[in-house]
Chain A
Amino acid sequence: MSYYFVIVGTKDNPVYEAELGVPVGRSDAQLGKRHLNQFVAHSSLDVIEEMMWSTNALYLKTVDRYNDKTVSGYVTPSNVKLLLIHENKADDGVKNFLTECHELYIKVLLSPFYEPNMPIRSVAFDNKIRMAARRYL
């Protein structure tokens, strides 16, 4: 099962991207689907921006679908969107994963060397995200 996780900043800019659970050589980019996940994630921002005003919850459940891909969304109070593209149905695992990622993102925000919308290049953050993916997805 492959997942694509992305944190999108307030300027539609990717802050962090990760392909989770993808065997080497099997990522979309390597399979010739050039940035399909990114395009799907980008297009689902419209839905998120609409849905976030109609609920108090940060976790927006399934926000979009494209072919066999499902997009689950999570909006932080600072308007940063956490998107997970997956093929199975959204369940508690997805919710827990996104919540965990939000907490990790908050910790990154606490760094005095980090400013909002800056790309996150921390290896530790990447490892923690992948650990959370293994735990919840």
Chain B
Amino acid sequence: MSSEAAALYANSMAGASQPILNTGLLDQARIRVLLVPVLPRFTAPPSPTAPSAGYAAFQQYARQLARHNAVRLSDLELGTHASATSTATTAAGATGRWNEGKLRFNYVTDAARDYDYLEEFQPYRQVLAVIGIVYCPDYSDLADANKVFSAITDDFSRSVARRCIAFEPREDQRTADVDGITLVPRDGDLDTYLERFIGEFSQQLLSAFGIMIAAIERRAVISTPEYARPLTPNNTGPAGLSVNMSPQTSSSSSSYFRASSPNLAVANSNAAANEAKARKRTPGRAQKLIGDLLVLSGKLIEAVGAYVMAIDHSRNSGDYLWQASAMEGLCAAVGLLSLSDAPSVGLLPPLNVVTSSYGFTLDTAAPMVMTQTETLRKFVADVPSRYREVAVMYERANAWPLVYVEACLKMARFATTNEVGLAWRTEEASIWIARAWHYSGDALSINEQIAFATISAELLGEIGARRKQAFWLRRVVALIFPMLHRDAEHGLTPHEAVRQRVIACLGRICPAYGIEDYSLAPQGGAVSLVDEDSAALVDEFGWPMLQVDTLRECISTCEAINDCDRTVHFTMQLLRRRRDYLHRDDQARVAVSLHRMVASAISRGERRSFDGIFWNSGFLRHLEVCRQSDGRMPHSRKRIADGGADASGDPFIYNPYAKKGAEDAGEVILVVNEPAYFMATLWNPFAFDLELQDIRLSTSGVEFTAESASALIPAGSPLTVRLSGVPAESGKLLVHGCSVVVFGGVRQEFHVRPLVNEELQMMERRKAQISFKHRTKRSGLDAFGNAGTRSSTVVEGDAKIDVAPALDVPVIDKLALLRVRTTSLSHGAMMLFEGERSQMSITLQNIGHSPVDFLLPTFVENPTAPPPNSQRQTREDTYEQDMYAANTHAFVWPVNEEGGTRKTSTGELRVRIEPGAEHVLTIGLFGKRGCTGGTVQIDYGSEMSSTENIIYTRQITVPVLLSVRRTLELLNADVLAVRQRDTARSDADSMTMVNQMLDRLALDGGRPDHWCLLTLDVRNIWSVPFQLRFSIASAVSASEAEDECNGVAAEAVITLQPGSAKRMLLPVERQLLPADYADQPIPLVNKQFVVARGPKPSAKEEQLARHAFWYKEAMLGRILTTWECSPEKGGRFDLRAVRLTEPMLDVLRRDTIAFSTSVLDASDNEADSRKEADVGAEIKTAGGTFFCSVGRFVTVCIRIDNCGDKPSKLFFRAQPMLDYRNGQVEHNLSHHMIWSGQLQQAIPTIDAAASFKYELPVCFLRCGHYTMTYHAEDVHTNRVYQGGEIQFSVQPS
């Protein structure tokens, strides 16, 4: 039932042959003629989908016939009807004017009987004539057709003319004479035949009208038909031929007026009063009806006269309803006159009264100057005011709402007509429509309301009032929705035509409110992308609250008509654009409803998925590729030629401007058939938790199997999801974004585009363009149209790859994969003593599918904490500290010959590890002070498998934990001078080396004063005994790191018990380093100059520090100290903690000028008693004193050696003294001794490595104890070289 109502609505929308409302100003001048197909009885009812041949022929000929919709009266033969015309026309004496009018036909193919009660009031509503169309091939005998037609026309007993026309007759049928059927032969011009037929038909009609007019004139009482609600859809059969009316066999026109009918029954109680009133009003009503018939007959002048009389009568009798109707008829008649071809002015003398009374300014005073255009213009100018009166009268009469609404709609349509030329058409039309709705809207039936709203919308749409059109279309949808909803609840599918009309309505409503209408999704794997700028512009448009209401209505309606796509589209739009205007619960409700609807559609199999746009931008905030685990991550390396030369030809060691190229720039490289992971940060804009049913990557470039994931994003929060997939081939993998399915199956693709400079500039330009557009004078709906009806662009299939990808990830072929099967360390940790040397081994296993052909171990030590910097660090300390940190490595590779033979020039180890095979790698460890461990990193790969310049490697890392314990402590160190008299032997352990050295000196004839003693106090602070081995090399070793000394001069081993300390004496040869060598600044390891925190040392201090450093370097270069605590554990003992102080340095450093003395007996040229003395090392022994006799000449010889590398110019002084041995000395020795020569003299320049001999003959005159002191002074530097003293003991001869 509701479907039928909707179908009725649809018919009215589709412009069916009989609309419910007549809104044309001149509709009442058209005779309603029903065309019926005369089909054989056994023929099935016509079906629109598969019409029979007869029905198709009917449609064809009906269209042909409909072209003949007007017939000039002048073309008709004048018949006897003139005698039947009214008195008014007779009075006009204008029989000749028949020729001026037209008969107009309104052909319909179905005739609803909803408004029977109005047919008597407005004859143009009635089916006045019936034409049957016979398709001759359907009939063998045309008499049968005639019978069928008669049966059909029985239903239209009140029609006054019934004719049957037969097409395509056979030869035998042409000859048959069947009464009432006009045959149209196949040959000949069809239009000519039809014209002739219509002419005859018109004459029949005119005759019938004449009879009807006469009958009206005879009627004593004409009652107003009682207002009856039109038949509801419940009891209305399908409009058409099968309407079962009361059978009236008589075809006489006298049956036009029914004496009584169920609809027109007058209530008995008021019968008498009403009849009296009706009798009084009958003359006016009769004139009105006559006027109507005259208008239909085309006799307009007579009709005007009849209407004038009707208006007069009705006004006098207060018959507002009939008066209003008569005025409408008058408007139509005058309008037709204005539009008639011939100048109408001359035909209007009887209208003087009319024009003066009712305002029509058809001025007859100057008939010759009035043109048709002017007449029409004046008619147009007057019609609105006339219709206002009509409306007022209808309101006053409180009669049928339909009539009132029609009158208003006529004016609305009139206002919208272009030719009328109203300035404010929209306002005028809108006000008429609003007026009709205000006074009668509620009184109309649902169908009428739908028709009214539809027509109103149509009228407003025609004049471009799109908002108003949408306003009324919303009402249409609201009216039709209950029916659709009821149908949907009963599981009925609405009629397709209704569905399409509803969708068309929504298509008109949405743009008016700034809502994007649904457009078909592109097919063939295309992707819809959101244009963010346009989307933002669209979002700004419109009235949010109205949009929310309208979207809700659209969603409900689309659900009712079961249009899933549109439901999804509108729901998405509601959530996307106007969620801020929805309560949190509403959002959730809408989402749940959408979820249910989509899931249901998918489960029914209607669709597999839905494309929607549920978020404009910012849903996918960030997308990045995850690094693989360290062991699996490939690294790119440039292949280095065997010669080691860089193929790039860049002369610089480091060129900051050089392109990194294929060097490992930290980019992630994916490997074929190995999973790749991406992190996507998503944002849930909604006020409810968003469940992502399926989220996967959208890629191109290489074949990629994206894994599906699901997640739940909390309301208004971001979420980072890990997405994965497996690339199946090598190349460039372009990742565009991700595809997300939510709400039970709504899919949207989100693309993230990297913002490179050009794109940023483009965005700026675009923003500028948009703001420029914004500044232009586009406003209202034009602004929305300008923004675009869909805020997304569609990128078709292959064009997808043109979109700049968010990520561009290289994919390489299969790579080998190693794992550490085992190491020699337990728990990856090892304890070492400081300076210990040890080894560890790592067993590698190839668990990949490719062989490995090179390994490259590298080591990273954990950073060690710097020593506490409590006291001021000297430069030497800094050097030692930095040197130890930089040059001492905890990891050593290669340990032995392993790397020696199989190492390439680039440091790689050539191996061949087949899949599944193992390889053991040995690495040396050193107990570095403060080291806590480190990482062994082994790069490996297959260089042979790749022919490109770039090879890809993987890394495997083995963390090693080291704890280094201090076991031996150097407590103290000193350097002692050795004098000749001190040389003694001892059996102590610490003296072993001294003994060895003395033996050696005795053997080589060396001078003991060229040696000194280094004393070392060493303590064992560990819990096991240690053996310390000291070795002294005869020459400085080339490398400090070497354990072996070149030519061991002396060697000793001492055992240190736990907790004990021992002193070791090491004979060290005194040295004199070249001045320019010893004066070198202390080097910096880090090559970075650091300003000392303390005060700047003086030049002397600086020189002392430098000398101490370089002499220490020279001394330690000859000493090698190793320890051993067990056969497996051994290492080096570091002596670099020794610091030389100034006294130690003085001992260690030999002077550049050396003295040696001797005393010769002058009497005998050869010294009988010769004593050599070393001044610096004199030991008070008896042997250190020269014994002389009184009066005997001796010669004191002092040899001065220049040990330096430069010549020296010296001034020599000697001073003899008498020592009383009581603390007093006598310098005036003129009575005690005599000498020959100068005590002070400048001696000649002594060349480097040369010597000078000073001789002084002396003779002691008295006994005593004499001492001679001497020194030399450099005349250039004033440096004084202390010589020493020579003791003489003079005895009596």
Contact = CB atoms under 8 A, between A and B. Distances in A.
A86 to B, nearest CB: 15
Interface string A55-67: 0000000011111
A45 B540 contact: no
A27 to B, nearest CB: 13
Interface in A2-57: 8, 10-14, 34-35, 38-40, 42-47, 49-51, 54
A50 B424 contact: yes
A115 to B, nearest CB: 10
A51 B471 CA distance: 19
Contacts of A54: 423-424
A12 to B, nearest CB: 5
B467 A67 contact: no
Given A34-B549, A42-B513, A11 B434 contact: no
B60 to A, nearest CB: 42
B431 A65 contact: yes
A101 B573 CA distance: 34
Contact of B467 (A10, A45, A63): A45
Contacts of B783: 10-12
B192 to A, nearest CB: 49
A13 B541 contact: yes
B1016 to A, nearest CB: 83
Given A11-B779, A12-B784, A47-B465, A67 B543 contact: no
A67 B542 contact: no
B1070 interface: no
A46 to B, nearest CB: 4
B427 A45 contact: no
Most buried by B among A39, A49, A65: A39
A13 B781 CA distance: 11
Contacts of A63: 427
Contacts of B431: 64-65
Contact of B434 (A8, A49, A67): A67
A88 interface: no
Nearest to A8: B543
Contacts of B470: 43
B186 to A, nearest CB: 55
Nearest to B474: A39
Contacts of A42: 467, 471, 513, 543, 546
B545 interface: yes
B777 interface: yes
Contacts of A12: 467, 513-514, 541-543, 780-781, 783-784
| Interface residue tally on B, bucketed by range | 35 or more
A35 B430 CA distance: 20
B467 A35 contact: no
B466 interface: yes
Most buried by A among B425, B435, B465, B543: B543
Most buried by B among A8, A11, A14, A39: A11
A52 to B, nearest CB: 10
B571 interface: no
Interface in B345-383: none
B542 A11 contact: yes
Contact of A35 (B434, B541, B546): B546
B549 A65 contact: no
Given A12-B543, A35-B549, A49 B430 contact: no
A46 B468 contact: yes
Contacts of A14: 543-545
Given A10-B779, A67-B438, A79-B777, A50 B426 contact: yes
B1290 to A, nearest CB: 117
Contacts of B778: 10
A46 B546 CA distance: 16
A15 to B, nearest CB: 11
A38 B543 contact: yes
Contacts of A8: 543
B545 A68 contact: no
A81 to B, nearest CB: 9
A43 B543 contact: no
B614 interface: no
Given A10-B780, A34-B549, A39-B471, A64 B543 contact: no
A96 interface: no
B425 A68 contact: no
Nearest to B475: A39
Interface in B464-512: 464-468, 470-471, 474
B1212 interface: no
Interface residues of A, number: 29
Contacts of B546: 35, 38-39, 42
B213 to A, nearest CB: 42
Nearest to B777: A79
A34 B552 CA distance: 12
A99 interface: no
Contacts of B784: 11-12
A49 B464 CA distance: 11
Contacts of A64: 427, 430-431, 434
A67 to B, nearest CB: 5
A65 B434 contact: yes
B107 interface: no
Interface in A72-107: 79
Most buried by A among B430, B431, B471: B430
B437 interface: yes
Nearest to A43: B471
Contacts of A47: 424, 426-427, 430, 465, 468
A5 to B, nearest CB: 15
A117 B774 CA distance: 11
B426 A46 contact: yes
A50 B470 CA distance: 17
Nearest to B542: A12
Interface string B538-556: 0011111110010000000
Contact of B427 (A35, A51, A66, A79): A51
Contacts of A65: 430-431, 434-435, 438
A62 B542 CA distance: 23
Nearest to A9: B779
Contacts of A50: 424-427, 465
B438 A43 contact: no
Contacts of A117: 540
Interface in B403-455: 423-427, 430-431, 434-435, 437-438
Nearest to A50: B426
A3 to B, nearest CB: 18
Contacts of B438: 65-68
B425 A45 contact: no
A35 B544 CA distance: 11
A13 B437 contact: no
Contacts of B437: 67
Nearest to A80: B779
Interface string A114-131: 000100000000000000
B581 to A, nearest CB: 11
Contacts of B434: 64-67
A43 B544 CA distance: 15
A39 B780 CA distance: 15
B514 A46 contact: no
A13 B424 CA distance: 24
A46 B542 contact: no
B543 to A, nearest CB: 6
In the complex, the 4 A-B pairs of residues with the closest C-beta atoms, listed nearest first:
A10-B779, A46-B465, A43-B471, A11-B541
12 contacts: A11-B779, A12-B781, A39-B474, A44-B430, A46-B466, A49-B780, A50-B426, A54-B424, A64-B431, A65-B435, A65-B438, A117-B540
Given A11-B540, A45-B780, 13 more contacts: A12-B513, A39-B546, A42-B471, A42-B543, A43-B467, A44-B467, A46-B468, A50-B425, A51-B424, A64-B430, A65-B431, A68-B438, A79-B777
Interface of B: 423-427, 430-431, 434-435, 437-438, 460, 464-468, 470-471, 474, 513-514, 540-546, 549, 777-781, 783-784
